[in-house]
Structure 1
Amino acid sequence: MAQTAKSDPERNEAIVRRFVREVVNEGNYATADELFADDYVRHDPSIPEEKRGPEGFKETVEMWRAGFPDVEMTLDETVAAGDLVAFRATETGTHEGEFMGIEPTGTRVDLTGNVMHRLENGRVAETWATFDMLGLFEQLGAVELPR
C-alpha cells in the first residue's frame, strides 16, 4: 500500500527543500504555484497580516529578495514527522534594496529562524515562521540594543 503525502515525511521534506531551493534561493516563483495549496496560510509575527495562497508566499519571498537580492537560505537542521516539516535555518544576504522601510545599507547580514510547515496532499498548506528580526534590524543599524 502506497503512503500518501500526509504520512510520507521523506516526501514532505523533499517538497520543502525544493521550494526553499527553487523559490527562496533561486527566485523561481512558478514553483510556488505547484507546491503551495490554494488555501495556504502563513503565520509570521514579522508580517502584519497573514499571507494566503501561493501568491501570499510569493509576496513574502519577493519582499525579501527586493531588499536582499542575493538572499540565500541554508537549512541547518530539518525534522519531518507525519504531515509536518520543521527546520532551523540561516539566511544570508546583502541589503541592497529597501526593506520594511529601511533604505539600503550595503550591509551583509545573517538571520536565523525556525519554521514549521504542514503539508496536505503533497502541497504546503500552512506555515509558522519565527525569524530573529530584532537581530536583523540591529545589523542594519535600524535599532540599537542596550549594552
Structure 2
Amino acid sequence: MSVEDNKRLVARAVTEVINRGNLAAVEELYASEIAAAAREWVAPFRTAFPDVRMETVALVGEGDTVVGHFRCSGTHSGPWMGRPGTGRAFRDVREVYWFTVRGGRIVDWWGLEDNDDRRRQLRAGGAPA
C-alpha cells in the first residue's frame, strides 16, 4: 500500500470506529491480533461520550507510519476515569496518534491525549479517591 492508502485507512478508522461507533469495522481495519484491544479502547470511551467526534487536523505519512493530529469533542454522558457522566461537554481537545499500517490494516497504534484539558472543560477534577 502507498502512504496515501495508509492515510486513507487511518481516516476511515477514525470516521467509522470513533465517530460512528461502528465497532464491527474494527475487524476489517485492524490486524486480528489487536482488534480486541482496539474495541476495548473505543467502546468505553464511546459509552462515556456517545456523541464523540474526532476532527482530523492533519495526517502525515512516511513508509508504514501515519501520524494524525486530531481535535476531539463530546458530551460526558457515562462513566469516565471513575467519574459518572455530568452532561458537560468538552471541545477541541488535542490528540496525536501514531499508527503503523501493514498489509492494509492497522497493526499498532499509540497516542497522546490532552486529558488535562478535557478534565478542565468537564470540571471533572483529578482522579477519584
Deviation of 1:80 (Å)? 1.2
Q: What SS is found at the alignment partner of 2:83?
A: coil
Alignment of 1:113 onto 2:95 = yes
Q: From the CA coordinates, give the structure whose radius of gyration is larger.
A: 1
Alignment of 1:23 onto 2:17 = yes
Q: Give the helix-richer structure, 1 or 2.
A: 2
Task: Find the aligned partners of 2:110 and 2:77 in 1 and give their Cα distance.
Answer: 27
Give the root-mean-square deviation of aligned CA atoms: 1.2
Q: Which amino acid aligns with 1:123?
A: R
Deviation of 1:91 (Å)? 0.8
Q: Which residue of 2 aligns with 1:44?
A: none
**Aligned partner (choices 45, 53, 58) of residue 77 of structure 1:** 58
Fraction of identical pairs, as percent = 33
**Aligned partner (choices 43, 51, 75) of residue 94 of structure 1:** 75
Q: Which residue of 2 aligns with 1:126?
A: 108
TM-score, normalised to structure 1, is: 0.81
1:100-125 deviations in Å (ceiling 9; x for gaps) = 21111111102211111011111101
Deviation of 1:92 (Å)? 0.5
Deviation of 1:38 (Å)? 2.0
Where does 1:39-58 land on structure 2 (aligned, <5 Å)?
39=33, 53-58=34-39
- Structure 2 gaps of 5+ residues are none
Q: What SS is found at the alignment partner of 1:18?
A: helix
Deviation of 1:143 (Å)? 2.1
**Aligned partner (choices 2, 10, 14) of residue 8 of structure 2:** 14
Q: Which residue of 2 aligns with 1:42?
A: none
**Aligned partner (choices 26, 30, 36) of residue 30 of structure 2:** 36
Q: What SS is found at the alignment partner of 1:101?
A: coil
- Structure 1 gaps of 5+ residues are 40-52
Deviation of 1:142 (Å)? 2.4
